[in-house]
């Protein structure tokens, strides 16, 4: 009993020591990160493993929003907004529309997966890939040394309209083309 108490004491003491050592803001930061990262991963798994494709789509949207929160948490407020607008809004709507247009009878099993072998193979590939990328991420001696930057929106606007004006225009054209292409594809070029 004493031993147990002693251990509890020890842990409590450790926790206090920990609390003393860390500043609270970094702890909050960690909390926020782990919360949204965990949620994002959870929803991402939901995208894959939910049986109903509509649920999957919802789960995907949730993932997007979690990622947007992560963006916000590191001060990328414009990116976060874009993420919510484009992914959480437009893409989600598109996907839901696509689900509607390619609707099938049994919605409960509308998100089928392939066989076990395929799963094993995919797990191996994805696992190895994850292992590799994780190793790269862990082994890379990156130093977190952020420079103080101004507001994101004006900074981005400056870059976009000065140094990166050509890619910006190209991106615009690309979007236009994609739109036309999507219309043509969906409408059918031969049915004019």
Nearer of residues 1 and 137 to another protein, judged by Cβ = 137
Does 159 interact with another protein (rule: CB under 8 A)? yes
Measured distance CA(96)–CA(87) in Å, rounded: 12
Does 139 interact with another protein (rule: CB under 8 A)? yes
Phi, psi of 114 (to 5 degrees): -90, -175
Q: Residue 98 corresponds to which tokens in the numbers above?
A: 């696509």
Query: Residue 67: CB partners within 8 Å, gap ≥ 6?
Result: 36, 40, 83, 87
Q: Which of 3, 20, 105, 146 binds another protein (CB under 8 A)?
A: 146
Q: How far is CA 171 from the centre of its chain?
A: 22
Q: Which of 108, 125, 165, 169 binds another protein (CB under 8 A)?
A: 125
Q: Which of 12, 13, 135, 165 binds another protein (CB under 8 A)?
A: 135
Q: Which of residues 52-71 bind another protein (CB under 8 A)?
A: 53, 56-57, 60, 63-64, 67, 70-71
Does 5 interact with another protein (rule: CB under 8 A)? no
Q: Residue 179 corresponds to which tokens in the numbers above?
A: 């739109």
Phi, psi of 158 (to 5 degrees): -55, -50
Q: Which of residues 6-35 bind another protein (CB under 8 A)?
A: 14, 18, 21-22, 26-27, 29-30, 33
- Where b means 16+ CB within 10 Å and e means fewer, 63-76 reads bbbbbbbbbbbeeb
Nearer of residues 8 and 74 to another protein, judged by Cβ = 74
Contacts with another protein by CB under 8 A: the residue count is: 97
Q: Which of residues 105-124 bind another protein (CB under 8 A)?
A: 110-114, 118-119, 121-123
Measured distance CA(127)–CA(3) in Å, rounded: 42
Q: Which of residues 30-49 bind another protein (CB under 8 A)?
A: 30, 33, 37, 40-41, 44-45, 47-48
């Amino acid at each position: 009993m004493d031993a147990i108490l002693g251990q509890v004491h020890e842990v409590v003491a450790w926790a206090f020591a920990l609390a003393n050592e860390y500043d609270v803001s970094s702890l909050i930061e960690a909390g926020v990160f782990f919360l949204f990262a965990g949620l994002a991963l959870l929803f991402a798994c939901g995208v894959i493993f939910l049986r109903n494709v509509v649920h999957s789509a919802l789960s995907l949207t949730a993932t997007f929003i979690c990622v947007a929160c992560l963006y916000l948490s590191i001060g990328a407020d414009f990116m976060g907004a874009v993420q919510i607008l484009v992914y959480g809004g437009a893409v989600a709507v598109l996907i839901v529309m696509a689900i509607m247009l390619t609707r099938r009878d049994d919605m409960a099993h509308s998100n089928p997966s392939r066989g076990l072998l395929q799963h094993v193979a995919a797990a191996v590939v994805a696992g190895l890939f994850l292992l590799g990328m994780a190793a790269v991420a862990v082994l890379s001696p990156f130093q977190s040394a952020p420079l103080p930057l101004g507001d994101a929106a004006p900074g981005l606007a400056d870059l976009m309209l000065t140094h990166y004006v050509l890619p910006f225009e190209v991106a615009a054209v690309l979007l236009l083309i994609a739109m036309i292409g999507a219309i043509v594809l969906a409408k059918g070029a031969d049915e004019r």
